[in-house]
Amino acid sequence: MLDSPALAALLRSRAALLALRAPLSWVNVATGAPIVIDGQTLDARTQWLLTVFEKSKRPEIHGLPLRDARIQFDTYMKALSASLLPMGMGDPPIGEIVDRTIPGPAGALPIRLYRPADAAASRLPAILFLHGGSWTLGSLDAYDLPCRFLATTAGCLVMAVDYRLAPEHRFPAAVDDSLAAWRWLAANAEAIGALPRRLVVAGDAAGGTLAAVVAQQTRGEATPPALQLLLYPILDLAMSTRSYELFGEGFLTTRRSMEWTRAQYLDDPLDVDDPRVSPLRADDLAGQPPALIYTAGFDIVRDEGAIYAEKLRAAGVRVVYRNFDSLIHGFVGMRGALQAAARAMDDVVAGLRHELAQLG
């Protein structure tokens, strides 16, 4: 039975989904003039989603008890990831999902393996996926639909990791778990049906941070990532880029919520300078695997992704960078509710498939 925080979050998320089904002509009237900032125009339905959240009095995470914040995050992720198409017209069916544990730095580390249909006897590229949620929120269940989507559309084995969360487990616990998961995948790729030379490390938001750290920290190892896929990654917790000034309020992820996140994650404010916290601050970026970096236009961490892409290129790393200029932070978990997010994720997968094909 749902307790009151879970029920409240569920009702808000369902109300948001119902509102998002309104005809676009009505949405344009309800939201008013388009929002244009820095030469970018916010997607109309995304603008309507933000309006619905505001009208529903959806509390920000920094104003909630931690348990309630986690419930709200997971509930919205599940609701906004779910396809609005009729049954049988959504994503291709998944072939197999296996929950298990692997050895981690603090004991058993839960993972979830996804294999696409009709691939039981095939060796596939594999994606280590590290979820977002500001190092304090998120779960395997919250990201179940995005991981299914990646597995079925990219034709990859996906390994999602339930790394330890702050504040119960502060930095560097999430980093240590992510590195342990990568090294397990690299050592056991053949055993689980993956191709050892076609392994990808990926993540969104805080998970994008962790993926970037894995790419940096595994240089010189026997099996480093063949690719890194970073989706609106958080790359510098100093929070000093221009996009923090432009989008610090009103676009779902706010400066206050990021400051709350930083306080939960770090014991020492000086850890901001550690490249395992702020990968953008690494002195040497040479020798990285090719990177696919995707940002959202109306996102406080937009500029970090763009700067990181340029720094990687300057270090001789092959980079594909794209800014989805009409979207907001978190679009990986909105593809069921926002057509623009669904198109963006289709483009992400197309880019990933192209880069994997280049590996031979």
Decide: 330 and 49 in contact? Cβ < 8 Å: no
Determine the Cα–Cα distance for residues 351 and 154; give it in Å rounded to an integer: 10
CA–chain centroid gap for 120, Å, is: 27
Minimum mean pLDDT range among 60-64, 101-105, 244-248: 60-64
Determine the Cα–Cα distance for residues 106 and 134; give it in Å rounded to an integer: 21
* Residue 14 reports pLDDT greater than 70: no
Percent over 90 (pLDDT), the chain: 76
Stated as kind and residue range, the H or E segment containing 293 is strand 291-298
Question: Which residue is listed with tokens 């995304």?
Answer: 46
Calculate mean pLDDT across residues 21-40.
74
pTM, two decimal places? 0.92
* Residue 89 reports pLDDT greater than 50: no
What is the longest distance spanned by two Cα atoms in the chain?
Answer: 57
* Residue 56 reports pLDDT greater than 80: no
| Position 97, amino acid | I
Residues 6+ positions from 8 with CB-CB distance below 8 Å: none
pLDDT grade, residue 26 (50/70/90)?
low
| Position 113, amino acid | L
